[in-house]
A and B are shown apart, each in its own frame.
Chain A
Amino acid sequence: MSPTVWATNTPTALKAYGGALVELARERPEIVCIGADLTGPTETDLFRDTIPERFFNIGMAEANAIGVAAGMARAGEIPFVNTFSVFASRRAFDQIAMQVAYPQANVKIAGFMPGLTTPGGVTHQAIEDLALMRALPNMAVVEPADANQIHAAVHALADHRGPVYMRLKRGEVPVMSSAAGQAFEIGRAYLVREGSDAVIFACGLMVTLAIDAAEELAREGRDVAVVNVSTLKPLERELIIEIAAQTGHVVTAENHSIIGGLGSAVAETLSEAGIRCRYARVGIADTFAEGASAAYLFQKYGLTTQAIVDACRRLGDGAPARAAHRPVTRA
């Protein structure tokens, strides 16, 4: 993986999720692992090989996998359903709404390869999963930023009674020193860098890029805070409102459509709280992408340190928040 999907020189770790899930299941016999023919790509081969009696491969059938998980949860198990973000969200949305969210079934959905982290093309790129999951009543939505958070989140998901959707990159993931040893609390956002001129609210892979952007902006005298919003729902409103009010300049950064995800969630919160601020969203600008390397796609679709830096500069200079965003015009 080219380092452009996280900040240069960021240390990385492998398979943080797969190891954490086995560790959790050894402690708690009600943990079951449900997959849909993506055992290796969801890091659950270790679970399959060490606790086979609680591993259920349902085959290429995500709708059924969600229903099976819901039934097991109703009987007292804590199922972790593992598939790609795109299939969990687009393909099994009604099943998740009716069999998981509505009855508050204790099902944890781990969606891998979020946003543009996959070369699989539009069929494999979940660019609206946060929007969909956020809209479901009773559903908590999290996106950990690094290996430490992924490990801690697996335990937090099991401790949380009710449905959770977690999106995460598989395989190699960044390791942030700021998150080392920290518990993962569902519903908390983490201030990872203080600043008084502007704030970047970021989630997932965009967090190390946001920190990188803040450091670059510091070199030109802009003092920018970074908040890791690792829970998109429920959002930690107080922290977001407080920092936005203090800085007056807000940039959100997400590996997701700018519609319905982190940018929308923060904007909703600030508008309702009556916070006046300048605002810009960095993310996928209401477009489908294509199959290519993650590094190429992050660059092409503006999920970069530079894009975050530019957004902060535009706000600071009083320029329009989204210079590149053209309004829709009638022919």
Chain B
Amino acid sequence: MNATGLLIKEFEGKKAYRPLRILGASGQLGYGIPTPAFEAGLARTPDLIGCDMGSIDIGPYYLGSGQLATARQSTKRDLKKVLLGARRLNIPLVIGTAGSAGAKPHLDTTIELIREIATENKLRFRLAIIPGDISKDVVDQAIKDGRVVGIDGMPDLTSQELSHTSNLVGQMGATSFQEALALDIDVLISGRACDTAIFSALPIMLGFPIGLSVHMAKIIECASLCCTPGGRDTILATLYADHFILESMAPQRKALPISVAAHSLYEQNDPYTIIEPEGRVDLKHATYTQVDDRSTKISGAKWIAAPKHTIKMEGARKVGERAMLLCGSADPRFIEQHKQILADVSVVVRDLVCEDGPEDYTLFWHVYGIDGVTDRQVDQPLPAEICLLIECIAPTIDRASEVVKTMKQYLLHFGYAGRLSTGGNLAFPFTPPEISLGESYKFNVYHIMETLDGERLFTPELIEFQ
């Protein structure tokens, strides 16, 4: 019998009969898992290790392109650490949102790394994977049925827009994970998933309350970020039938009532609610009580099942190829007039590069020191230096490169009113100052789809490592 089978058998007919110890090993697998805290966590003989591996916050590029945000080597190191740890204790390992964005190419890359680690370390285990991709046909039908709604003001999704999506995923929930966990497995790696499913699916199967399990999951998916000081070290949750206790596995990080409660604010627009595909958790009556100087007891989360199941979908489409120019200025007259200068030069550039073709590109400038990060305030003084990042998105990389190279030359020598510095308007930290970045993407799907009764979007597949 394998790791999940053993636990399910142990709890058979004995719902939540003993506390469950769950390790949140990493908030984003692939950026390094500090070994001392992870090993300290293993020493506490946990029942489950979970790691979140991705997020939408990193932007549309990774989802669209299929690339990982983390480096191959550090991703492999982290995967090896958690896989060897889980196999050593013969406990389940659950990883959600494989490869940064959780679409097929991300899951494939993650499985490839797992294969290498299994071979190199002669591991034997049973792996379940759950792809997170959603078929465009399914979504197209839902659009036609009026079952797709944009999130936070996202424009209505049309069939045509959908067809441009390069990768389309849905955030699967605990129900999908449970289907895989029931297959007597050792390791579960999913495509795009709710970060809560990683840690809540198994406890719910073992009879722990849903609200409590999801609340716990929502906190420990960020590892020790809920502590003072917050950090990425492994955290241990001990789940009981009516509360859970959090303790960081790094001695300097304290899980205090205030810091744990404050974690509900992080990257959320409502600290009192956690929304899941199958319902929501109400935290209005959650309580946080200090147990000792390093741990906190949490209870009171309420689960409210949804009458209809929904899936949050994410998709990205290619918008072109990006090239950029990086340079600076320390000339007060240039800085004072930069807005007009950039507008004027962009016209000069357009007239040159569009001599024998259409204006098929877009040009943006980010003027650091002025308003490169946020809108300029009325009373803000002008800085002594500015950095200019000029980006072009065009149909091809050659076209984008042509535009920024032309921009560089004409901006360098542009004769604006009152110019004193006829040697050149720009400083380059290195040459070439133009950089070709390649494919550029945008989110075109960030929508909720109401699923049909009994509709099964995500299906587990088994892989045996002998």
Interaction A to B: no
Residues of chain B at the chain A interface (Cβ within 8 Å): none
